[in-house]
Amino acid sequence: MDLKIAARMIAVLAIGAAMIAAVAALREAGSEDDAPATRLRDPGGEPANAELVRCRDLGMAAADDAACKRAWVESRRRFLESSGERVRP
């Protein structure tokens, strides 16, 4: 085997390994975004927020859940009152 070809092959393998290492490092750096998801999962504060989180976790079954319907109505009422809208009972 010619020495030039061997040197090129080694260079290509080294560049490939460096690219793989860079991609792996960037993937690990992106996984630090778990903190906001934890805050959304356990909002604390008002009991209504905890109920809304429970309803979100129920998925499609929440549409038939009476407690979820009440929580959504209360959430809409609070949202619209805070935005200056007048809500009819």
79 in Cβ contact with 69 (< 8 Å): no
Task: Give, in degrees to the nearest 5, the angle at Cα 88 between 82 and 89.
Answer: 105
Q: Which has more confidence, 8 or 44?
A: 8
Q: Which has more confidence, 17 or 45?
A: 17
Provide the CA 11 distance to its chain's centre, in angstroms. 39
Are residues 70 and 52 both part of a single domain? yes
Are residues 28 and 52 both part of a single domain? no
Single-letter residue type at 17: A
Q: Which of 7-11, 46-50, 73-77 has the lowest mean pLDDT?
A: 46-50
Are residues 46 and 20 both part of a single domain? no
Task: Please give the mean pLDDT across all residues of the chain.
Answer: 80
Q: Domain containing 80: what range?
A: 42-89
Number of domains in the chain: 2
For residue 61, is pLDDT > 50?
Answer: yes
CA–CA gap between residue 20 and residue 9 (Å, rounded): 17
pLDDT at residue 84, as a whole number: 63
